[in-house]
Amino acid sequence: MRPESNAIRIQTERSNEGEHSTPIFLTSSFVFDNAEEMRAAFADEKDVNIYSRFSNPNVTEFEQKLAALEETEDCFATASGMSAITASFLAFLKAGDHLLACSSIFGSTHTVITKYLTRWGIEYTYADINKPETWEALIRPNTKMIFAETPTNPGLDLVNLEWLGQLARKHKIILNIDNCFATPALQQPAKYGADIVTHSATKFIDGQGRVMGGAVCGRKDLVKEVYLFCRATGPSLSPFNAWVLSKSLETLHVRMERHSENALKLAGLLEHHPSVKSVKYPWLLSHPQYEIARKQMKAGGGVVTFELKGGLEQGRRFLDAIKMCSLTANLGDTRTTVTHPASTTHAKLTEAERLSTGITPGLVRISVGLEHITDIVSDLEQALELSK
Ligand SMILES: *Cc1c(COP(=O)(O)O)cnc(C)c1O
């Protein structure tokens, strides 16, 4: 079956009740009929559930669906995107290893790398996303992993996955891609040579702003290392959240298509608005990496950023004038969400630090939701008018 169908049809074995939808297995442990069965389970001779920190039917169902969507051999789900990313580092890196990471990455990932990995003797270098020609020279004999996001949050910059996959293979380095913004509905990094694909399921995968979750997809042998690390350290996904996320995957393709359709319409209109200096969206011809986007993504995704002519002050006035859309840090929701990074999420950075990650004073990030596009556009247009 095709990935879209697998996302709907993969299901935990039915119980004697003949239920159509999967029940929630709220149980911390699983029972055995006799001493021999229990011994075999603990000796890993049988693939059965023992304890929900290790595995649970709802979590397994979500993992199998996500692996089918990414078209990877396996997947392990975790309690949040950050626990997935942290586990994907700690399962493979040890003191003395070097991590080459793209400079434009999610704030908490940056903290894990600079504050914690260094504490455990793991070195890192940041590579400039806009200068890919400099990356190869940054690889050292002890470089064990390359980590990147594409498209990046909030810069919407892209990495050429085919090129990066070849670079990683040439140097025998694990390539780890955070696929949170595109989701497997729009981009499958493993096809271009990513060994590991990490996810915050909290965003577009849930898609309705309800639960936290994360996942690591990839080759069986690599996902096993992540599983063993998590089985021991415990950032497991709860059965309830896994149930929600498994249901969410059934509509992922349909939602991502509409998110992308709405976002492209909005981006096109904003490009011609007199208050707007510039617009960034992977599917606009004006995006510097438009060709790469067309090659490795099926659509542009749900996030649009734009720069207001009036800078920081106009950014704040714009937020105050919003009526329908939500002012919130989350993204990937059915509801359109708006953030002004310079005065909120990135306010603690210096102006120079903000500019180095592409956050200009008037930058606004919109995660375009599934409301009717006419309503999204009229809310944003009236707010632009009032913020002049
Ligand atoms: C939100 C986000 C994360 C972290 O995910 P959580 O589920 O919040 O822990 C990681 N990467 C990207 C790109 C994100 O947007």
Dump pLDDT digits (tens) for 80-132.
999 999 999 999 999 999 999 998 888 899 999 999 999 999 999 999 998 99
| Residue 154, pLDDT above cutoff 90 | no
- Which has more confidence, 362 or 217? 217
pLDDT for 20 equals 95
pTM of the model: 0.96
The SS3 of residue 217 is strand
Task: Give me the residue spans of the domains in the chain.
Answer: 3-13+21-249, 253-386
pLDDT category of residue 275 using cuts at 50, 70 and 90: very high
Does any ligand 1 atom lie closer than 6 A to the CB of residue 303? no
Are the folds of 3-13+21-249 and 253-386 the same? Answer: no
Distance between Cα 106 and ligand 1 center (Å) = 7
Q: For 253-386, which CATH superfamily applies?
A: Aspartate Aminotransferase, domain 1 (3.90.1150.10)
| Residue 252, pLDDT above cutoff 80 | yes
pLDDT for 188 equals 98
Does any ligand 1 atom lie closer than 6 A to the CB of residue 332? no
Does any ligand 1 atom lie closer than 6 A to the CB of residue 82? yes
| Residue 176, pLDDT above cutoff 80 | yes
Closest ligand 1 atom to residue 153 Cα is 13
Q: What is the mean pLDDT of the chain?
A: 95
Distance in angstroms (rounded) separating the CA atoms of residues 96 and 22: 45
Distance between Cα 119 and ligand 1 center (Å) = 22
- Residue 353 neighbours by CB under 8 Å, 6+ apart: none
Does any ligand 1 atom lie closer than 6 A to the CB of residue 80? yes
Distance between Cα 200 and ligand 1 center (Å) = 5
Closest ligand 1 atom to residue 82 Cα is 9
Q: Are 236 and 63 in contact (CB under 8 A)?
A: no
User: Has domain 3-13+21-249 been given CATH number 3.40.640.10?
Assistant: yes
Q: Are 25 and 238 in contact (CB under 8 A)?
A: no
- Residue 165 neighbours by CB under 8 Å, 6+ apart: 175, 192, 193, 194
> Which residue's C-alpha comes closest to atom 8 of ligand 1?
81
Does any ligand 1 atom lie closer than 6 A to the CB of residue 180? yes
pLDDT for 153 equals 87
Distance between Cα 81 and ligand 1 center (Å) = 5
Phi-psi region of 332 (alpha: psi -120 to 50; beta: other; left: phi over 0): left
Distance between Cα 203 and ligand 1 center (Å) = 7
Phi-psi region of 301 (alpha: psi -120 to 50; beta: other; left: phi over 0): left
